[in-house]
Amino acid sequence: MRAGSRGFIVSALAVPVILYCVLVVSPYAQSFYISLTDWNGLSPQRNFVGLANYTRLVHDDVFWISLWHNVIAVVAIPVVTLALGLFFATMIRVGRYRARGGTLNVRGGAFYRVAYFFPHVLSIAVVGVLFANVYDPTPSGLLNGLLGVAEIDAVNWLGDKSTAYAAILAVIVWLSVGFYVVLFTSSMSVIPVELFEAARLDGATRWQTFWRLTLPLIWDTVQVAGVYLGIHALDMFAIVNVMSAAGGSGGPDNATQVLGNYLYLTAFSDSEFGYATAIGVALLLLTLLFAWVSLRLTRRERIEY
């Protein structure tokens, strides 16, 4: 490398690297320090307590309950969302597979993509109000009204420990599927039609075409989508805070509590910013661990076409 080009590269990278250190690395470093203090978020005094917050974390039952709920979400949300997203995208993209001996978009495919994507543009507050009517515990609620038609007793969807968390996970899947339908449809649209026609001539069924042709060719997109959904499942603060019983408490009896919401309540309700930051650091490490493991487990050789 010539001396002139080296100077140009260093000067071009200097500003972005400095901004990254100030805006990204510095807040993380400060968070690690605050997690070692007993700061209440208001006082200028921060007493250094060492690893006391992390020791408390290990013995905190609510932390482990919240972590378990996040683990369930990390498994359930990506699996269900990706399965539904791939299914609907395949139906839109190759819905007329048998009709013409090849692949054609289903009629009205653009409308279906808009319809599927619509929930994704709604704010969490609107979703909370919408599903407050869907999950209304009285017989006039949407779901309980349908149960009433079948002469089944009304269910307190968000107030019963056995149904509250599943009800919130269902809302997250409903919110997310549309985005991945559009994403996967776009990825499938760049696959040459000749490949589908060749598979058809070889006698491949729809399932064989999807499993042996479509999925391998869009695997990079599916992999990134899975990692993003998993990271999203480790947060879930907004939807749990809006929909959980007793005004975002993670109730009933911590049945819907997740780490993001527990962090928020510890910081802003209990004024324990030091301990809340320790929860945040634990959440950061879990997120990094999940991203590394999922990328390692889902890594495949790239297919060129």
Nearest in space to 114 (alpha carbons), one of 181, 35, 191? 181
Name, in order, each residue with C-beta under 8 angstroms of 128's C-beta and a sequence gap of 6 or more. Answer: 239, 242, 243
127 pLDDT above the threshold of 80: yes
Longest dimension (CA), the chain: 82
Q: Which two tokens stand for residue 124?
A: 């969490």
Q: How confident is the model at residue 266 (pLDDT cuts 50, 70, 90)?
A: very high
Whether 130 and 141 have beta carbons less than 8 Å apart is answered as: no
List, for residues 192-221, the tens digit of each pLDDT value: 888 888 888 888 888 888 888 889 999 999
Q: What are phi and psi of 130, to 5 degrees?
A: -60, -50
For residues 4-30, average pLDDT: 85
Q: How far apart are CA 286 and CA 230, in angstroms?
A: 11
103 pLDDT above the threshold of 60: no
| Average per-residue pLDDT for the chain | 87
Nearest in space to 37 (alpha carbons), one of 26, 21, 22, 48? 48
Half-sphere exposure of 245 (CA within 13 A, CB side): 19
Calculate the CA 88 to chain-centre distance: 19
Q: How far apart are CA 184 and CA 171, in angstroms?
A: 21
Q: How far apart are CA 181 and CA 175, in angstroms?
A: 12
List, for residues 186-199, the tens digit of each pLDDT value: 898 888 888 888 88
- Which stretch of DSSP H or E encloses residue 36? none
Nearest in space to 177 (alpha carbons), one of 261, 115, 257, 242? 115
Nearest in space to 39 (alpha carbons), one of 208, 278, 301, 248? 278
Half-sphere exposure of 20 (CA within 13 A, CB side): 5
- The reported pLDDT for the residue numbered 96 is 63
List, for residues 53-66, the tens digit of each pLDDT value: 999 999 999 999 99
Q: How far apart are CA 208 and CA 211, in angstroms?
A: 5
Q: Which residue has the tokens 């978009």?
A: 105
Q: Which two tokens stand for residue 96?
A: 């007329």
Q: How confident is the model at residue 105 (pLDDT cuts 50, 70, 90)?
A: low
- The reported pLDDT for the residue numbered 98 is 56
130 pLDDT above the threshold of 60: yes
Q: How far apart are CA 138 and CA 94, in angstroms?
A: 42
For residues 272-299, average pLDDT: 91
Identify the sign of the CA torsion 99, 100, 105, 108: negative
Nearest in space to 279 (alpha carbons), one of 29, 21, 34? 34
Q: How far apart are CA 16 and CA 193, in angstroms?
A: 42
2 pLDDT above the threshold of 90: no
Calculate the CA 196 to chain-centre distance: 32
Q: How confident is the model at residue 258 (pLDDT cuts 50, 70, 90)?
A: very high
Q: Which two tokens stand for residue 160?
A: 């019963």
Half-sphere exposure of 145 (CA within 13 A, CB side): 7
Q: Which two tokens stand for residue 285?
A: 């490490």
For residues 285-291, average pLDDT: 92
Q: How far apart are CA 85 and CA 63, in angstroms?
A: 32
Q: Which two tokens stand for residue 294?
A: 């999922």
Of 82-86, 231-235, 298-302, give the lowest mean pLDDT range. Answer: 298-302
